[in-house]
């Protein structure tokens, strides 16, 4: 391949080799722009599923425009092969950077890098793209200290059946960085990337991949699915405590217990949030059911209490605004009571002699009389 020209780019040297292809350094023959060209290995040209995966990487990268994701300049497919012409980033993979340059990363170095990684992966997620192979080897640390994510060859576009190149039951990704659901061959969504980011973050903080000492895939699978990782301080004591709680959440076995988005993960890193362990979060939800969720029986009781309260309120409103008022309690409504405030028997007015004539119109209020005699007895 050395010396061959692809779309006016002359191949100068090989940069690296992978399972599906090789990557070469090339330079434009007129503009002298340096690029990286990824070439599908010849033995895979006759395999439709591999060719489709290579095309998938091209179409995925074409939709990604982010400062921390390697850019795609062009794509070529002809009788000689399949080629991705990509941005060239001078630097080294994050795993080599950890091993050869930093060792366990101090807080002031790890935070800017993980923030850039989370920003880039979160951007891809917003475009419904799941990377599915997040690992330090797919993250380049440039000479200026910034990072670039590459290798979207097995990325999946959520909701696009034509782009989903794998089925449930198929493992995709690098075993050391797989989520439990990936190991079990289940469908992987954004939260699977978050798990892989958690393992990557763990390696950045401790200097070691937590599974690299295991000798068989079975051991790795078992630990990923069943066993929580040891606190990072047991591997490297210098890891800040708040990072430990963030890792615990990112590496939860159940996707619902992880950060649900890269933005949540990023916020926890930026604010140095100390996250409660899962058991404590669960007990909080049980202790405060109305705030965080209620069972059907609890909902029924709450509905009953609300119903009783509304009924009592209705009674009060009826008494205050609907039922007739009788302030002096003489059984004459205030609207027809001619002597409000006085308890009486005649139109609500007092009648001391009980002659059926209210005292205020009775000429003889203290003696029983007739109406035609103005309430006075005969002879008066």
Q: How far apart are CA 120 and CA 270, in angstroms?
A: 16
Catalytic residue among 133, 151, 330, 351: 133
Write the CB contacts of 91 (distance below 8 Å, at least 6 apart in sequence).
97, 140, 141, 142, 143, 148
**For residues 319 and 355, which has the higher predicted lDDT (pLDDT)?**
355
Any idea how long the chain is?
A: 380
Q: Is 133 a catalytic residue?
A: yes
Quickly state the pLDDT bin for 321 (edges 50, 70, 90).
low
Write the CB contacts of 269 (distance below 8 Å, at least 6 apart in sequence).
111, 114, 115, 118, 246
According to CATH, what is the number of the domain 91-271? 1.10.510.10
CA angle 280, 277, 98 (to 5 degrees): 175
According to CATH, what is the number of the domain 5-87? 3.30.200.20
CATH 3.30.200.20 location in the chain: 5-87
pLDDT at 27 (0 to 100): 96
Q: How far apart are CA 247 and CA 278, in angstroms?
A: 12
Residue 285 clears pLDDT 50, i.e. is over it: no
pTM confidence score: 0.68
Residue 292 clears pLDDT 70, i.e. is over it: no
CATH 1.10.510.10 location in the chain: 91-271
Q: What percent of the chain has pLDDT over 90?
A: 48
Q: How far apart are CA 370 and CA 372, in angstroms?
A: 5
Residues 109 and 145: beta-carbon distance below 8 Å:
no
pLDDT at 264 (0 to 100): 97
Residues 135 and 200: beta-carbon distance below 8 Å:
yes
Q: What percent of the chain has pLDDT over 70?
A: 83
């Amino acid at each position: 391949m050395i010396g061959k020209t692809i779309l006016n780019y002359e191949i100068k040297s090989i940069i690296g080799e992978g399972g599906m292809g090789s990557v070469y350094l090339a330079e434009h023959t007129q503009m002298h722009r340096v690029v990286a060209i990824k070439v599908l290995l010849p033995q895979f040209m006759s395999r439709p599923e591999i060719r489709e995966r290579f095309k998938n990487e091209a179409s995925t990268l074409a939709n990604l425009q982010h400062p921390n994701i390697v850019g795609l300049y062009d794509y070529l497919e002809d009788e000689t092969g399949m080629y991705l012409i990509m941005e060239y980033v001078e630097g080294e993979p994050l795993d080599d950077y950890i091993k050869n340059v930093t060792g366990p990363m101090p807080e002031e170095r790890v935070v800017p890098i993980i923030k850039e990684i989370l920003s880039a992966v979160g951007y891809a997620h917003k475009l419904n793209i799941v990377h599915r192979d997040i690992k330090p080897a797919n993250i380049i640390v440039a000479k200026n200290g910034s990072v670039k994510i590459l290798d979207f060859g097995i990325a999946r576009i959520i909701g696009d059946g034509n782009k989903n190149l794998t089925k449930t039951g198929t493992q995709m990704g690098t075993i050391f960085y797989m989520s439990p659901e990936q190991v079990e061959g289940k469908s992987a969504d954004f939260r699977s990337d978050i798990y892989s980011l958690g393992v990557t973050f763990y390696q950045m903080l401790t200097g070691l991949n937590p599974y690299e000492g295991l000798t068989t895939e079975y051991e790795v699978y078992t630990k990923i699915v069943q066993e929580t990782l040891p606190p990072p301080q047991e591997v490297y004591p210098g890891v800040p405590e708040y990072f430990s709680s963030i890792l615990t959440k990112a590496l939860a076995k159940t996707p619902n217990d992880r950060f649900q988005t890269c933005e949540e993960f990023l916020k926890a890193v930026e604010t140095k949030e100390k996250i409660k362990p899962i058991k404590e979060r669960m007990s909080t939800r049980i202790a405060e059911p109305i705030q965080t969720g209620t069972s059907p029986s609890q909902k029924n009781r709450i509905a009953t209490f609300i119903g009783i309260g509304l009924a009592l309120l209705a009674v009060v409103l009826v008494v205050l605004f609907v039922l007739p008022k009788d302030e002096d309690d003489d059984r004459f409504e205030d609207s027809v009571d001619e002597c409000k405030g006085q308890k009486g028997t005649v139109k609500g007015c007092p009648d001391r002699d009980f002659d059926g004539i209210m005292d205020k119109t009775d000429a003889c209020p203290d003696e029983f009389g007739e109406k035609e005699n103005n309430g006075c007895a005969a002879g008066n």
